[in-house]
Structure 1
């Protein structure tokens, strides 16, 4: 996108074209203005339009431009935080409510894909959280026990079964989560956009918001070439927020994450590497993720930016890592490379904000955007339609608050990932 092959990589190369849209022009009236064309905004627009609301969605760039079009494509349940720790952070009511909503969120994603016939390479075979060493095994065993107590279909696999499913003997075990799966993330975003348009929503890309103002009981949202007046504003710009809602960006620390995609590996290798097409990642602090796309490309990623010296460092590390994980591949040839930014909050949990009367949004997905973004968009629609009171939302109301030492942390994450991946070459 925007003539940058490192922004969306394989996903842009293999996605069907986005539905036709144009910049906002003139002055429009609606019931709801949705700002941001990622999973949250698209889901909110779709569910509102299906209920007869007049919806205008404004996206500064293109549909799926932010994290929605750059991520690995894992449809995960829950967050990084251990399930038993969530009530300790949010309290027992909100904690268990959030776990229930996010635990079931992948089902909503898959149901929408089926309902709207979204072609996005959906795989329903679960995900594998792969344990590195004894500490990693304890981590996945604890996570399995805590989710299992809540009725989730999760299973700890031993090293032998993990090796069979992954195609590598590197891991001592894995957590299989059958709620989860994988998809082509940009295809999914574009599919949601198409479904929202067919439901009656009006989508405008290339429409960066310049200002908002109150006009009586209604809001007026302005871009350089037009305006929309509405009763409600949904803020769904998350980690890529700029302009009037840059405060959402400021409360998150950006963690860079890159992905590399091999050329199609061929039928023989695809029978030995992730033959069940599960998405996978490991328990290392600087984690690695890997999955197959529909044509047999292995998508391999980790923390880091593919810019400046990072491009060579991280690609070199990826080649060495893949040679250790999957020696059967041989000389690795990468077809695509891309990277983006994960927005991390200080407690690794998402936020609900009321920025002003009738101006609301969820944000802060901490690398788990597909299922949470989709379900929170639906939740915002239900709230605006009067079906879910603010007190009954899955997260408490909080005010945006700048992350401490944000710039320093972001520089350290980018530099630290390079240091770690360089150090890996010595061992």
Structure 2
């Protein structure tokens, strides 16, 4: 497949403005799992799910397998939000180190939460295998790279935490890190053998296919415009007509809008951008030869991985400025690759895109019950693949009779993050400044 240079997902402050061909990312263009026809909204279901990303699709799949009639309502296409713009790292755990999770959740919830999320990659890869999802899945691990001595100390502490739990993680010194990455850019790293990579859009579409095969319905291009509580549950208003449901799940995470008042102010949205090179063939034979995905400990995080066609995909926090051939982000990516791989030489980029991440103040996700039988898991802090899959299964279990104590986290009411609007602007300015400085 030959891709032309493009830049997608420019935001004008009024919503998403797509590229002319409607492609939102490299993954949208290259996923082997293809889109499918939307179905008409039913009049009534057991469970209505708003959002066709990992959370909504996992909820639909597991609810349908448990015997519920479930229907996903997506305003755009499957994976249009964060799921189709993801880096594609299938990581265990959450943003916080295990010891911090234990301190935050206590001796009862903490170990159970860590166990569930340590097993998250295995759950994802089991679903991929069981449903034969075509998403370029690799299971050679991911690497958290130390950008400075402080980063290496942090990774050493994380390694001790996971090792005490008996988890398969290795602390890499500078030489071992250089061998895995093909660069001496980093001082060391933490290799997590539980983890891996996927084409994130392929995984989302594969979940959708599996959910439909299990009996769930999916309507795309349908926007939910209102929620009205009724005696029997909920009346879900859409621009294609109403649907009634006994329960509703909002699976919108960082792409939450004003559907439920105040919910979008319960997290701080930040942007993450990526650029993908053309396929580089033998030029990258020594770069990530085992296929791990890498992200680092820098305050403004960077990521680097390969895809199945031999492209390098590099990313960092912030928006895309410019396009694949000119502009700040393209210069940043050229400079970063030159610093990391001096022998690589100049490259051409085929795709540039960005997407949003929902960050919470304590870097832990949430499960909110917004009203009776109306739930939303939210605030994934950049761990959408495993977290969305886990929470979808958990919410489906709750709705089919499992005790709420079995959820990964206790159900809470949401509260606005007062600093979110200001911090969003601060982050945007800081990330743009970082791009500029690193592009010099």
Structure 2 counterpart of 1:69, from 84, 100, 105: 84
What is the DSSP-based 3-state SS (H/G/I as helix, E as strand, rest coil) of the residue aligned with 2:391? helix
Alignment-derived partner of residue 214 in structure 2: 199
Structure 2 counterpart of 1:10, from 23, 26, 30: 26
> Is 1:210 aligned to 2:213, yes or no?
no
Distance 1:73 1:62 in 2: 18
Alignment-derived partner of residue 140 in structure 1: 155
The runs of 5 or more residues in structure 2 that have no matched partner are 1-7, 9-16
> Is 1:103 aligned to 2:149, yes or no?
no
When residues 408 and 308 of structure 1 are mapped into structure 2, their CA distance, relative to the original with a 3 A threshold, is: farther
* Structure 1 segment 76-87 matched on structure 2, within 5 A: 76-87=91-102
Alignment-derived partner of residue 13 in structure 2: none
> Is 1:286 aligned to 2:296, yes or no?
no
* Structure 1 segment 359-374 matched on structure 2, within 5 A: 359-374=374-389
What is the DSSP-based 3-state SS (H/G/I as helix, E as strand, rest coil) of the residue aligned with 2:377? strand
Distance 1:90 1:313 in 2: 41
Structure 2 counterpart of 1:299, from 313, 321, 328: 313
Distance 2:435 2:234 in 1: 49
Retained in 1: the 8 A contact 2:284–2:344? Answer: no
> Is 1:345 aligned to 2:360, yes or no?
yes
Distance 2:112 2:240 in 1: 42
* Structure 1 segment 22-421 matched on structure 2, within 5 A: 22=38, 24-25=40-41, 28-245=43-260, 247-267=262-282, 269-307=283-321, 312-387=327-402, 389-421=403-435
Retained in 1: the 8 A contact 2:140–2:291? Answer: yes
Retained in 1: the 8 A contact 2:18–2:24? Answer: no
Retained in 2: the 8 A contact 1:77–1:104? Answer: yes
C-alpha displacement of 1:20: 2.2
Distance 1:173 1:7 in 2: 36
Superposed CA offset, 1:230-268 (max 9, x none): 21111111110123235332111111110000111112x
Distance 2:46 2:176 in 1: 53
Superposed CA offset, 1:304-323 (max 9, x none): 10147998222212111110
Superposed CA offset, 1:388-417 (max 9, x none): x11332112221111122222111111111
Distance 2:305 2:421 in 1: 32
What is the DSSP-based 3-state SS (H/G/I as helix, E as strand, rest coil) of the residue aligned with 2:260? helix
C-alpha displacement of 1:66: 0.8
Higher mean C-alpha deviation, range 32-41 or range 130-139: 130-139
Higher mean C-alpha deviation, range 151-160 or range 184-193: 151-160
Distance 2:263 2:53 in 1: 15
C-alpha displacement of 1:371: 0.6
Question: Structure 2 length as normaliser, TM-score?
Answer: 0.92
What is the DSSP-based 3-state SS (H/G/I as helix, E as strand, rest coil) of the residue aligned with 1:31? strand
Distance 2:207 2:263 in 1: 23
Distance 2:119 2:66 in 1: 22
Distance 1:19 1:6 in 2: 13
Superposed CA offset, 1:145-176 (max 9, x none): 01111121101011111111100011111110
Higher mean C-alpha deviation, range 126-135 or range 245-254: 245-254
Question: Structure 1 length as normaliser, TM-score?
Answer: 0.95
What is the DSSP-based 3-state SS (H/G/I as helix, E as strand, rest coil) of the residue aligned with 1:245? coil
Retained in 1: the 8 A contact 2:83–2:385? Answer: yes
Higher mean C-alpha deviation, range 291-300 or range 354-363: 354-363
What is the DSSP-based 3-state SS (H/G/I as helix, E as strand, rest coil) of the residue aligned with 1:329? coil
When residues 121 and 354 of structure 1 are mapped into structure 2, their CA distance, relative to the original with a 3 A threshold, is: same
Retained in 1: the 8 A contact 2:321–2:328? Answer: no
Distance 1:44 1:9 in 2: 24
> Is 1:422 aligned to 2:436, yes or no?
yes
Distance 2:305 2:261 in 1: 33
Distance 2:33 2:138 in 1: 21
Structure ranking higher in helix proportion: 1
Retained in 2: the 8 A contact 1:210–1:243? Answer: no
